[in-house]
Amino acid sequence: MTVPTSQARRQPRRVAAATFVGTAVEFYDFYIYGNAAALIFGKLFFPDLDTATATILSFATLATGWIGRPLGGLVAGHFGDRVGRKGMLVLSLVLMGISTTAVGFLPTAAMIGAAAPILLVLCRILQGLAAGAEYGGAVVMALEHSDTNHRARNASIPNAGVMFGLVLGTAVFYPITLLPQDQLMTWGWRIPFLISFIPVLIGLAIRMRVTESPEYLRVADAGKPQRPPVIDVLRSHWRQVLVVVGAHMAPNIWGYTMTVLILSYATTYAGYSRSSLLLAVTIGAVVETLTIPWFGSLADRYGQRPVYIAGLVGMAVWAFPFFLIVREGSVLLLTLGLVVALGVVHASVYGAQASYFAELFPTSVRYTGLSLGYQTAGALFGATLPALGLLMIAWNHEQPWYLTLYLVVAAAVSATVLVLARTVQRYSESTESVLNERRSDGLPMASQT
């Protein structure tokens, strides 16, 4: 089960492309739903309610995707750690393509009444299953194909793909929002969902050419563990799971605020047009797509935790001035604010976190452990943010101090978790080789910090 040397040398770049494109496709599908939930679905699926309530319920359907994400992560993690990473990444892409295309065919509430939002929720849960299966596998594949000196940079490539998926999603929605209102609400909103199968086919073509993770193959050659991976994670690595959940709290909340919640807040309360706002978010996401690998390289050079914590400090510092900028009503200032919020602050965290999280778990349970912690954090904090954020904004929409304070507190919590986690055991390829040698020689195990 070994990979030929000549082929192995070509794999890191191929894997980088496969994880970038595949993750971009998956999260294109995920983000176009977020855009539609913020701008359109409230009117189509909850037409009898006032605007604020309809939007909150629309965001609630967005949150249901997080019901599927932890489950998708656990199922894919189980088979990814037992059978192999590659197959799970192919299946996740197919599932995301099917569920997203199905949204484009859904009847609205005007056509079938209350059954319409129920079908919407079902499609969203399927999207969640696919996204939950995708992220952990993409990060693990990118990390495990990397050399020692570029693990953080290469593992950050799927995160860059996440942001490029946002770029694709908002870029597609931008011309759609320019349609006349009647065309937008009848057939225009369906286009981004119906064409999603095209990038899915491209992603599949690339992923089918990727070889299995060499680190996984070495573990598989040594024999499969007796316990299911999730049992091993919960018994032996639960501290690491808690670190992932706590450390990912702030970036999850921040990312959804700056890419989804801002669409509703700025159009409803600050007077921005939908098209100008989508353009501003797209520019910020383009910058972040480019800067994430750069921050990953910094994490390789200076350490993951220092770069990660620096980004969290940036979140706490930038939260207050950002919303002051939004209230100015200037598209140029808003765009610059989003470039900083996404391309600098969020990118520094995203550049460092993927490899840091993945190396908290040994190869044998890495897919499961990473997925469990990451998707749990999303379900607790990302899923609740749009609806909760709208409630906080409704309390004081002139200047959303409650939301701003929430962002600052989240950054402080995540930074504290990282500081306290400095002694938590971590696993790189080199340390695992040492640990495996000690196991085979019957020597005592040393704690890795």
**In this structure, is residue 393 part of a structural domain?**
yes
DSSP 424: S
Question: Which whole number is the average pLDDT over 136-158?
Answer: 90
The pLDDT assigned to 9 comes to 58
**What distances in angstroms separate CA 55 from CA 40, 62, 65, 268, 429, one per listed residue?**
9, 11, 16, 11, 47
**In this structure, is residue 323 part of a structural domain?**
yes
**In this structure, is residue 147 part of a structural domain?**
yes
Residues spanned by the domain of 299? 5-441
Beta-carbon contacts of 277 under 8 Å, excluding residues fewer than 6 positions away, are 262, 263, 266, 267, 334
Q: Which two tokens stand for residue 311?
A: 């980004």
- Going by pLDDT thresholds of 50, 70 and 90, the confidence category of residue 197 is confident
**In this structure, is residue 446 part of a structural domain?**
no
**In this structure, is residue 449 part of a structural domain?**
no
What is the average pLDDT score of the chain? 85
Residue 392, classed as helix, strand or coil, is helix
Give pLDDT tens digits for 388-404: 887 888 777 667 888 99
Q: Is the pLDDT of residue 339 over 60?
A: yes
The pLDDT assigned to 436 comes to 43
- How many structural domains comprise the chain? 1
**In this structure, is residue 448 part of a structural domain?**
no
The answer to which of 75-84, 230-239, 349-358, 428-437 has the lowest mean pLDDT is: 428-437
**In this structure, is residue 156 part of a structural domain?**
yes
CATH label of the domain that carries residue 377:
1.20.1250.20
Give pTM, 2 decimals. 0.84
Give pLDDT tens digits for 77-126: 999 898 888 889 889 889 988 998 999 999 998 899 889 889 998 998 89
Please give the Cα distance from 116 to 399 (Å, whole number). Answer: 35
The pLDDT assigned to 433 comes to 46
Q: Is the pLDDT of residue 233 over 50?
A: yes
- In degrees to the nearest 10, what's the CA dihedral of 363, 346, 400, 419? 60
**In this structure, is residue 282 part of a structural domain?**
yes
